[in-house]
A and B are shown apart, each in its own frame.
Chain A
Amino acid sequence: MAKFKIHLLVCGGTGCRASESEALFHNLKATISEKGLENEVQVITTGCFGFCEKGPIVKVMPDNTFYTQVTPADAIEIIEEHVIKGRKVQRLLYENPETKEKVVDSKKMGFYRKQLRIALRNCGFIDPENIDEYIGRDGYMALGKCLTELTPEQVIEIMKKSGLRGRGGGGFPAGLKWEITRASKADQKYVVCNADEGDPGAFMDRSILEGDPHSVIEAMAICGYCIDASKGLVYIRAEYPLAIERLKTAIKQAREYGLLGENVLGTGFSFDIELRYGAGAFVCGEETALIHSMEGLRGEPTVKPPFPSVSGYLGKPTNVNNVETFANVPVIINRGAEWFASIGTEKSRGTKVFALAGKINNVGLIEVPMGITLREVIYEIGGGIKDGKEFKAVQTGGPSGGCLTQRHLDTPIDYDNLIAAGSMMGSGGMIVMDEDDCMVSIAKFYLDFTVEESCGRCAPCRIGNKRLIEILEKICKGEGTMDDLDNLRNLSQVIKDTSLCGLGQTSPNPVLSTMENFYEEYIAHVMDKKCPSGQCKSLLQYIIDAENCVGCTACARNCPVNAIIGERKGVHVIDQAVCIKCGACMEKCKFNAVFIK
């Protein structure tokens, strides 16, 4: 086996691929062979590095140089300068936004400094399509240990002691779930991996499957051993083609190595995994809906109990965990429950992956220890708010989470604190909003999603969410009344209180939390007919400032609805009754005479 002096790790995550990282990979390879360096330098496609804002990423090992925003054209320079001459390509290095200094080592970047990567340990480090690289990083050691040294009960005990809670949103203790499923007696049981990641903007599960599929396979096999299941199913969105491909490759490799299939590692334990594809319904992330979808039925939740642990897929006991939960398992086995439990807070152990998005400088995927504050995440890892604007709120927990504000910035993030603050962990979406965001519109935006994604089974979710969004639309149009605000609050409460599944029980959270934290914005919309952030078009007025207007007629000529009246060289006026608020006049005015009120 060749020993390479230099490894070039190219991010092969979906985000970087979208910015031509595949072409970059091929250019690097071509340049290497052109220079006759095939035996010296190896190029590897890895999973996501997380720092998607600055992608595509290329990492040079062993000197740990972290290049950002690399284009396919940069390949030659990296090879010629860095690889051959040993000079780092300065222009591709990350620049500290405050000091303007170039940073070479990713560990010294604000984005990475406070991160602790457990679930993402191999993402951006190994070639996900090469099982040897996974094994080289202690892969399948945990499975071997469980099968040869530990009884299922002992493994479950480790899982319980580790304090690992479900990372899909519910936060149910994983070890306890395994124990309950183990206790259910049946001729056949199933391990299901929930890879139906549905929160808009969240992509940690995709990243893990793309970057480290073997960790999930290994964990599922361990789970199968614990609960006495010989069959595993991964329910994965069909919109994740790369993750599907890598997972398929990984399963094939694991079978070839005797790590899946009959008689795993010669221990007599048999376990194999199949894929099931989801059509992209958000609610199919709910475990009963997921199971019905796998069974070929309508993707809709049913009442629990019975819990899947007792009666799940095809009526058999089924243990459902999500991708991130599974990704933690092998490390817990290898490093011990005490080690894992030493990270995080009392009731939320370990780390959590968040997808940072919105008005934040460093958009990307991060993994942080539980207990870190929102301030650390937003200002240190996230690099603060874009364009130096004021922080306004952060939405955690996906579309059915809540908006947290300035006063929550120093709250340690864990399952219980987020719920206490009116939001939730969810699957780890974190969307940052600045002063320009209208909180009524934000609530409307999220509800729009849940209205689309409601399965329609229960009345409060099916009709109630629709009515909520209709009231919000009315308010954004300036037609809201104080009664509407009362109705909004009552309806939100009732939907939470009466809906069948988690979707409806949380969908009004954005409304309730914005009403709780930004009630004055609602009042402004309803009483003053004003949108303080200037986002609600119906509440805006385009006005021509008589002082600045020179009567050039540019605005009037460009108005698509002829709403602007005025003589040449005379002051122009916008007829508000006709104006459609398209903004064309403001764009065309060379004298800054058009402003928004």
Chain B
Amino acid sequence: MEMIKLTIDNKTVEVQKGASILDAAKTVGINIPTLCYLHLHDLNITNKPAGCRVCVVEVKGRRNLAPACVTECTEGMVVNTHNIRVLNSRKTVLELILSDHPTDCLICSKSGNCDLQTLAQEMGIRQIRYQGEQSHYREDTSPAIIRDVDKCIMCRRCEMMCNDVQTVGVLSAVNRGFMSVVAPAFERNLDHSECTYCGQCVAVCPTGALTEVDHTNKVIRALADPSKTVIVQTAPAVRAALGEEFGLEPGTLVTGKMVSALKGLGFDYVFDTDFAADLTIMEEGTELLDRLSRFMNGDKTVKMPILTSCCPGWVNFFEHQFPDMLDIPSTARSPQQMFGSIAKTYFAEKLGIKRENMVVVSIMPCLAKKYECSREEFKVDGNPDVDFAVSTRELAHLIKQANIDFNGLPEEDFDRPLGESTGASVIFGATGGVIEAATRTAYEVFTGKKLEKVDFEQLRGMEWIRRAEVDFDGTPIKIGIAHGLGNARKLLEEIRDGKADFHAIEIMACPGGCIGGGGQPLHHGDSSILKSRTAALYREDAGKPIRKSHENPFIQKLYEEFLGKPCGHKSHHLLHTHYFDKSNPIEVD
């Protein structure tokens, strides 16, 4: 590899040819500030439109300043990152951006977590010399995501996520000049677009332009209502990330503290979505085995492969983009909805209360879950199975508002019966986890033999698309895994073109799976955080006494007492769903 030698701020730097000034500077401890730039190293996701011009530096001999993020180092280059010309330009540009930005930081939901605010602080901006007209746009509220476009700084990170990574293609720059802004086509609202609510735009937005719909006040009100029994479920990925909101190291497992905090908040029962994840394996696994055995017995009517259906962003994606393939995904509801359904039937009966008097709250790493729980098919007489889905970030706010010293909390256990879970369900939060959990159960059911080694390393990792073969005692089962909707599209197109011979495919909309969901604490471009969260989930799995879903005693009891058998009549009614053709929602008016 050819090496390049250059000087940055009087320090000699040697880097590989092709390195940017920004990267070269980092190697000698010089952090050039950036704003629009985003680089998720482990996922190979990069956004560098060179639009914010905050990272400009002086290159000797060059007429104008150079954006460090996209300027390649050349031999003998002499760079200055903070002389008066650079500082003045950087501050002036920042003032310009602020001059077209609402300064309502004190009441902005992004306050304290906003890259623009942090930068303004670090740069010591104390006045905005260039005041003038500010751009104003209509606020766009959807079931999951709010677009406060006045706060858009045209960093184009969301556009990159929506188009390049997710291939959803809803967000892109529209209008010209001062009126330029990122918006859906024809500046329609998100709920009139093909948005999947995956929330990856929110996950990377540096300002308050894209945020989640906040349900914390609704939760507080429900908790204060004496006529309501309020139940909470927590998704697997939450426990691996919540601690970050309280200053803990990424990857710190806070399961026990989280349960403790939820009890402190006043929830009547603190349950675990993991329980429902085990239930999902029972249903989805049974469906898989049924399709698989019919397929292997030569039944031509059977569709292969079966695709997982736990991820609501993914469900929205195929309803919009692949309406011709609605019969391929499993009909099993997601764990969130299975939980809600069981809670408002089985558990409500146990408590002897009406479903109207029960409120089910879910804590999710996800924003699409907000939309999912509002779907009509998951309501009974207008009463939703899950009333509110709040994000990991919202839960942190609830805890802070309740004056709870999170880090000082004791560890507590989930309540029973809907709080008991296995290691298989915990790994639902990471890409590959659902299919690994399904494999653990399906293997034993299919072969009738006990699985010696429950860890399927070949199904794990961060690679976008993974293909693996698992030996079911002589029968090779072909498994596909994709995370990120753009990769899901690739696999789906392979299936559509008849080029794929998978038996089962797991798809997660978000990079890394739920641990990288749109409702998680913001990673601010540090992809090692996602890796730490993943590792935490596998750690939790490894420490669990039971690691196969079908061995969960409370699941067994649920079938005995209430459901009958997996994919039976009752579970079909309560735990399965159907999909809708949502293609072409855009009509040009």
Using a CB–CB distance below 8 Å, which chain A residues touch chain B?
Answer: 281, 298, 300, 302-303, 305, 451-460, 462-467, 470-471, 487, 490-491, 494, 496-500, 505
A456 touches B177 (CB 8 A): yes
Pick the 9 closest A-B CB pairs, nearest first. A456-B180, A454-B177, A463-B96, A467-B130, A470-B132, A494-B92, A498-B53, A466-B178, A303-B70
Assess the A451–B50 pair: CB atoms within 8 A. no
B72 within 8 A of A: yes
Given contacts A460-B96, A490-B92, contact A498 B178 (CB under 8 A): no
Alpha-carbon separation in the docked complex, A467 to B135 (Å): 12
A487 touches B129 (CB 8 A): yes
Are A453 and B176 in touch, CB under 8 angstroms?
A: yes
Are A459 and B51 in contact, with the CB atoms below 8 A? yes
Bound Cα distance from A108 to B20, whole angstroms? 60
Q: Which residues of A contact B180 (CB under 8 A)?
A: 455-457, 462
6 A–B contact pairs at CB < 8 A? Answer: A298-B173, A451-B178, A453-B176, A456-B180, A460-B92, A470-B132
Q: B93: which A residues are within 8 A, CB to CB?
A: 459-460, 464, 494, 498
Task: Give B38-70 as 1s and 0s: 1 = Cβ < 8 Å from A's Cβ atoms.
Answer: 000000000001111100100000001101001
CB of B172 closer than 8 Å to a CB of A: yes
Is B50 a contact of A454 with CB atoms below 8 Å?
no
**B residues less than 8 Å from A298 (CB atoms):** 172-173
Chain A residues with Cβ below 8 Å from B130 are: 463-464, 467, 471, 487, 491
**Across-interface contacts of A470 in B (CB, < 8 A):** 132-133
Shortest CB-to-CB span from B57 to chain A, Å, is: 11
Give the residue among B50, B56, B132 with the most A Cβ atoms within 10 A: B132
B111 at the interface (CB under 8 A from A): no
Q: Which B residues are in CB contact (< 8 Å) with A498?
A: 53, 56, 64-65, 89, 93
* A460 surroundings in chain B (CB, below 8 A): 53, 92-93, 96
Chain A residues near B7: list those with CB within 8 A.
none
Give the chain A neighbours of B99 by CB distance below 8 A. 463, 467
Q: Which residue of chain A has the shortest Cβ distance to B129 in the bound complex? A: A487
B188 lies within 8 A of chain A by Cβ:
no
Q: Which residues of A contact B64 (CB under 8 A)?
A: 496-499, 505
Most B Cβ at <10 Å: residue of A451, A452, A454, A498: A498
**Bound state CA distance, A506 and B567, in angstroms?**
69
**A491 with B92, Cβ < 8 A, contacts A303-B50, A498-B65 known:** yes
A490 and B85 CA atoms in complex are apart in Å by: 11
CB neighbours (8 Å) of B132 from chain A are 466-467, 470
- Given A459-B153, A463-B178, A500-B50, verify A305-B72 contact (CB < 8 Å): yes
How far apart are B124's CB and chain A's nearest CB, in angstroms? 17
Closest to B36 in A: A459
Q: How far is the CA of A499 from the CA of B93 in the complex (A)?
A: 10
Given contacts A305-B72, A456-B176, 11 further A-B contacts (CB under 8 A): A453-B177, A454-B176, A456-B180, A460-B53, A460-B96, A463-B99, A463-B100, A464-B130, A465-B177, A466-B133, A491-B130
How far does the alpha carbon of A458 sit from the alpha carbon of B35 in the complex, in Å? 12
C-alpha gap A471/B52 in the complex (Å): 22
Per the bound structure, the CA–CA distance linking A470 and B99 in Å amounts to: 12
- Could you tell me the distance between the alpha carbons of A454 and B52 in the complex, rounded to whole angstroms? 15
Name the contact of B96 in the complex, choosing from A302, A452, A455, A464 (C-beta under 8 A).
A464
Chain B interface extent, by class? 20 to 34
| Secondary structure dominating the interface of A | helix
Give the residue among A300, A465, A471, A494 with the most B Cβ atoms within 10 A: A494
Chain B positions within 8 Å of A490 at CB level: 88, 92
In the bound complex, residues from chain B placing their C-beta under 8 Å from that of A305 are 72
CB distance from B236 to the nearest CB of A (A): 40
Q: Say whether A457 contacts B53, CB under 8 Å.
A: no
A461, closest chain B residue (CB): B177
In the complex the two chains form, what is the Cα distance from A494 to B56 in whole Å? 11
On whether the beta carbons of A500 and B133 are closer than 8 Å, the reply is no
Given the known interface contacts A298-B173, A463-B100, the answer about A457 and B88 at a Cβ–Cβ threshold of 8 Å is no
In the complex the two chains form, is A500's CB within 8 Å of B51's CB? yes
Find out whether the CB atom of A456 lies under 8 angstroms from the CB atom of B92: no
How near does chain A come to B206, taking the closest CB pair, in angstroms?
A: 13
Interface residues of B in 169-226 (CB under 8 A from A): 172-173, 175-180
Measured between alpha carbons, how far is A458 from B64 in the docked complex, in Å? 15
Which residues of the partner chain B approach A281 to less than 8 Å between Cβ atoms?
Answer: 176
A456 and B178: CB pair below 8 A?
A: yes
* A303–chain B nearest beta-carbon distance, Å: 5
Q: In this complex, what residue of A is CB-closest to B48? A: A303
Q: How far is the CA of A505 from the CA of B154 in the complex (A)?
A: 19
**Least distance between B295 CB and chain A CB atoms (Å):** 42
Q: How far is the CB of A486 from chain B (nearest CB, A)?
A: 9
Known contacts A454-B177, A455-B177: does B89 contact A494 (CB below 8 Å)? yes
Closest to B177 in A: A454
Chain B nearest CB, measured from A266 CB (Å):
44
Residues of B within 8 A of A459 (CB): 51-53, 93, 96-97, 153-154
Q: Which of B138-179 contact A (CB under 8 A)?
A: 153-154, 172-173, 175-179
CB-CB under 8 A for A457 and B153, given A298-B172, A494-B89: no
Closest CB in chain A relative to B34 CB, distance in Å: 13
Supposing A305-B72, A451-B177 touch, asked if A457 and B154 sit within 8 A by C-beta, the answer is yes
Taking A303-B70, A460-B53, A491-B92 as contacts, is the C-beta distance between A455 and B176 under 8 angstroms?
yes
Give A459 to B154 CA distance when docked, in angstroms: 8
Q: Which of A303, A462, A466 contacts B67 (CB 8 A)?
A: A303
Min CB distance A84 to B, Å, is 57
Q: Which residues of B contact A464 (CB under 8 A)?
A: 92-93, 96, 130
Q: Which of A453, A466, A487 has the most CB of B within 10 A?
A: A466
Contact A454 B92 (CB under 8 A): no
* Complex contact B96–A458 (CB within 8 A): no
1/0 per residue, CB under 8 A from A, across B455-475: the answer is: 000000000000000000000
Which residues does chain A contribute within 8 Å of B154, judged by CB atoms? 456-457, 459, 462
List of A residues within 8 angstroms of B172 by Cβ = 298
Would A458 and B53 be within 8 Å (CB), given that A463-B96, A490-B88, A497-B64 are in contact?
yes
**Chain A positions within 8 Å of B100 at CB level:** 463, 466
A462, A463, A498: which has the most chain B beta carbons within 10 Å?
A: A463
CB distance from A45 to the nearest CB of B (A): 37
Instruction: Check if A456 sits within 8 Å of B97, measured CB to CB.
Output: no
Query: For residues 1 through 60 of chain B, which have their beta carbon under 8 Å from a beta carbon of chain A?
Result: 49-53, 56
B571 to chain A, nearest CB (A): 49
Q: Given A451-B178, A466-B132: A456 and B173 within 8 A (CB)?
A: yes
Shortest distance from the beta carbon of B514 to any chain A beta carbon, whole Å? 33
Q: Are B177 and A499 in contact (CB under 8 A)?
A: no
Chain A nearest CB from B47 CB (Å) reads 13
- Assembled-state Cα–Cα distance A497/B50 (Å): 14
Q: Hey, which chain B residues are within 8 Å of A458, CB to CB?
A: 50-53
Judge whether B178 and A454 touch: CB under 8 Å. yes
Q: How far is the CB of A459 from chain B (nearest CB, A)?
A: 5
Task: Give the complex CA separation of A452 and B180 in angstroms.
Answer: 11
B552 to chain A, nearest CB (A): 51
From A463, A466, A494, give the contact of B97 (CB < 8 A).
Answer: A463
Q: Measured between C-beta atoms, what is the minimum distance from A171 to chain B in Å?
A: 14
Cβ-defined contact, A462 with B177, below 8 A: yes
Knowing A281-B176, A490-B92 touch, does A497 contact B133 (C-beta < 8 A)?
A: no
Shortest B176–chain A CB gap in Å is 6
Cβ–Cβ < 8 Å partners of B129 in chain A: 487
- Bound-state CA distance A281–B132 (Å) is 25
A456 interface neighbour in B52, B96, B179, Cβ under 8 Å = B179
A456 to B92, CA, bound (A): 17
In the complex, A150 Cα to B129 Cα: how many Å?
A: 61
Supposing A303-B67, A470-B133, A497-B85 touch, asked if A452 and B177 sit within 8 A by C-beta, the answer is yes
Chain A residues contacting B97 (CB-CB under 8 Å) are: 459, 463
Contacts of A499 in B (CB 8 A): 53, 64
Find the A residue at minimum CB distance from B101. Answer: A463
Give every chain B residue within 8 A of A466 (Cβ-Cβ). Answer: 100, 132-133, 177-178
Enumerate chain B residues within 8 angstroms of A455, measured Cβ to Cβ.
Answer: 176-177, 180
